[in-house]
Amino acid sequence: MVSIKDGFTINECDKCVYTKTVGNACIIICLYVDDMLILESNIEVIKSTKRMLSNNFDMKDLGDADVILRIKIKRTPNEISLSQSHYVNKMIERFNEHGIKENINHFFHTFTFTRIQELEHDSWSILKLSKV
């Protein structure tokens, strides 16, 4: 583990993830090019981390993230869920615009992949594929 300024440690498996533990707080910073997520359950710890970072780097606070790296973030009072259904739908539309036809997938030969619908079921987001 490599330690950096202000006590953050670089994750050895993913060099874009930094962590710091102070008392009961575990702050996680995820970086990718010019995108950043700061994760912690205590808003004051997040604000403090933002202040420290803005003192050292040019940064703009865009508020709560709703999409990062084409992953949609959905929050409820009890959970956070991640989804790429909007990205999959966008790719399907893009391929359709270019006249690319569907191809039979021999592994899933009874399915055709069409627009994805998100269904809410017992606090899980379920992706539904339409069956032919």
pLDDT digits (tens, 9 = 90+) for 58-111: 888 888 888 888 888 888 888 888 888 878 888 888 887 777 766 666 666 555
Give strand pairing partners of 91: none
Give the highest mean pLDDT range of 46-60, 82-96, 114-128.
46-60
Euclidean distance between CA atoms 57 and 22, whole angstroms: 22
Percent of the chain clearing pLDDT 90 (strictly above): 5
Euclidean distance between CA atoms 67 and 82, whole angstroms: 9
Per the CB < 8 A criterion, the answer to whether 87 and 70 are in contact is yes
Is the per-residue pLDDT at 7 higher than 80? yes
Higher pLDDT: 94 or 114? It is 94
Identity of the amino acid at 112: T
What is residue 100's three-state secondary structure?
coil
Per the CB < 8 A criterion, the answer to whether 88 and 116 are in contact is yes
Euclidean distance between CA atoms 120 and 131, whole angstroms: 19
Q: Which DSSP symbol is given to 95?
A: H
Residue 126 confidence class, pLDDT cut points 50, 70, 90: very low
Euclidean distance between CA atoms 100 and 48, whole angstroms: 50
| 10: its two tokens | 């670089």
Euclidean distance between CA atoms 46 and 53, whole angstroms: 11
pLDDT of residue 127: 47
Average pLDDT over residues 10-17: 89
pLDDT of residue 95: 80
Euclidean distance between CA atoms 19 and 120, whole angstroms: 32
pLDDT of residue 85: 82
Average pLDDT, the chain: 77
